[in-house]
Structures are given as C-alpha cells and as structure tokens.
C-alpha cells in the first residue's frame, strides 16, 4: 500500500521538521506533505509543501479539520490524490513511540477491509485497557485523535469534489475548532458500511504542552480559553446542524449506526465493544 502523511504546522517549524524527518527515515512507502496554517514567513518548516496565507488564516489558523481538508483538496487539485491508498492526518503535537508505522497500517488495512478510519492508541486512553492484547484492535463509535489514518476508498464515498477546499472536502469546516466533527465522520463511516477502529499496534501520545507553552508563538488562544471555545462553538454547530443539545445525543446517534453495522456484518462482532 502507498501512504501519504499530511502534517499541520503553525509557527513551530522545529517540532514539525522533527516529525517529518522521523517519519521519512522510518517509512519507505510514505510521501509527506506539510501544511502551513498561516505561519509567519520566518517560521515555515524547511519542508513546507503548501502555505495557507490568506488574511483569515494568518489571523486564526486553519485548525486540524480545515487543515486536513486543505491538504486533501490540494492533492486532489494537483492530481496526486489517487496515488495513495490511505492518508495519515497528523497534527504536529503527535509523538509516536515508534515511527515505523506504515508496515503496521498496511497489515491492519489489508486484514480489516471494512476499516475506513483508523487511529493509533495512547496509553493514557481508557480504550488502551479495552483493546485485546492478542488482536490489538477494536472498532469504536467514538474516537477523538490528532492522528487519523483514513482509507482513500472511504473518502471517495463521502468527499465533496464539486468545489473542493478547506471548508468542505472531507470534514465540515463550518465547525471551525472541530468539536463534534469526530462523531460526524465516524457516523458517515458506519452509515456507509465502513468502520472506525483504534489499534494498540501503534502507540502515540499527544504533546499538549506544545499549546500550553507556545500559544503565543502559535498565535492562538491559551489552552483554557481554546478549550472553552472549542466546546461552546461545537455545541452551537451540533444544535444548528442536528438539533442536538448535548454531545451525548450526538454520540448516541452515531452508536445507532455502529450497532447496525454489526447486524449487517456479523462476522466482525468479535471487534465490537
């Protein structure tokens, strides 16, 4: 299988270049593209691919979901999108315990043909205790991750190609900070007979200190304010789009599709929670 990694950077080039070099060194079948989300010109990665630099992005950034939309839509416009079997969508605060990941992803996706969305696992997550030590994989109906691996054929089922761009290619970019978008994309998977899974075969951690210590360099709100806005704006989006008053309602909506998936795919019930 051929993979593409998209790494999102905003004014932290050393961190991003370290990730780039670690992935490049340890994986042969991987192309890596770096998205600069309104970064200052003197803070671009040495390996920058695309620089989103219009005024709105310079001021507010792209955030994870819009950033990944932007990168995927650029690949599509440049006719590189179909070169890949899957995309590894990374924020630059993702730290892998072992950066040799594509061989493991290939093995998993080749065995699990229904997986459209895959996430590595953090040892800090409760999910780590649930995943069987033998299979090292479980299908979930909620996954909040800074490191999604998404199969191209799943994206092909749901992508927007009429006017591809940073607001609409895969994720709903009208939800700027993205609270709740992980539920929506997983709902789209299960409702289209795909699944979403977490594997303990690949371990990572999210370096939250990057935002806590560098929010001034990143030119964003501090961690506490960003978290409050993340949740507030996400609730407004959920209410506007789905009529839900809580995240729990959104998750129960997804779980209905999750349960239906296993009714239609009974041989996969061993991977069900």
User: What would the DSSP string read from start to end of 76-106?
Assistant: HHTT-GGG-SEEEEEETTEEES-S--HHHHH
pLDDT at 170: 96
pLDDT at 223: 82
CB 272 within 8 A of CB 260: no
Domain that holds residue 55: 3-271
pLDDT at 211: 63
Query: Where does the chain have alpha helices with state H?
Result: 13-26, 55-60, 63-77, 102-111, 127-130, 152-158, 181-191, 209-218, 223-242, 247-264
- Each residue's pLDDT, cut to its tens digit, for the chain (273 residues) gives 999 999 999 999 999 999 999 999 999 999 999 999 999 999 999 999 999 999 999 999 999 999 999 999 999 999 999 999 999 999 999 999 999 999 999 999 999 999 999 999 999 999 999 998 889 999 999 999 999 999 999 999 998 777 788 999 999 999 999 999 999 999 999 999 999 999 999 999 998 777 667 777 777 888 889 899 999 999 999 999 999 999 999 999 999 999 999 999 999 999 999
Which CATH number do you get for residue 82? 3.90.550
CA dihedral over 163, 92, 179, 233, signed as positive or negative: negative
Number of domains in the chain: 1
């Amino acid at each position: 299988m051929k993979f593409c990694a998209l790494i999102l950077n905003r004014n932290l080039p050393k961190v991003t270049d370290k990730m780039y070099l670690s992935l490049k060194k340890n994986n042969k079948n991987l192309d890596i593209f770096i998205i600069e989300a309104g970064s200052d010109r003197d803070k671009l990665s040495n390996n920058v691919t695309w620089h989103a630099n219009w005024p709105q992005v310079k001021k507010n950034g792209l955030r994870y979901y819009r950033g990944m939309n932007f990168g995927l839509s650029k690949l599509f416009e440049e006719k590189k999108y179909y070169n890949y079997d899957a995309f590894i969508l990374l924020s630059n605060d993702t730290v892998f315990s072992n950066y040799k990941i594509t061989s493991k992803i290939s093995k998993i996706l080749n065995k699990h043909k229904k997986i459209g969305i895959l996430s590595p696992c953090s040892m800090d997550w409760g999910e780590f205790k649930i995943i069987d030590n033998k299979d090292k994989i479980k299908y979930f109906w909620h996954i909040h991750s800074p490191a999604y691996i998404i199969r191209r054929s799943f994206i092909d089922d749901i992508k927007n190609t009429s006017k591809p761009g940073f607001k609409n290619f895969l994720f709903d970019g009208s939800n700027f900070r993205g609270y709740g978008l992980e539920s929506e994309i997983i709902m789209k998977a299960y409702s289209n007979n795909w699944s979403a899974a977490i594997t303990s075969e690949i371990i990572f951690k999210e370096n939250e200190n990057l935002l806590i210590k560098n929010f001034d360099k990143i030119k964003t709100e501090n961690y506490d304010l960003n978290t409050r806005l993340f949740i507030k704006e996400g609730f407004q989006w959920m209410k506007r789009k789905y009529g839900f008053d809580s995240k729990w309602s959104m998750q129960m909506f997804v779980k209905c599709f999750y349960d239906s998936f296993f009714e239609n795919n009974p041989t996969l019930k061993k991977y069900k929670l």
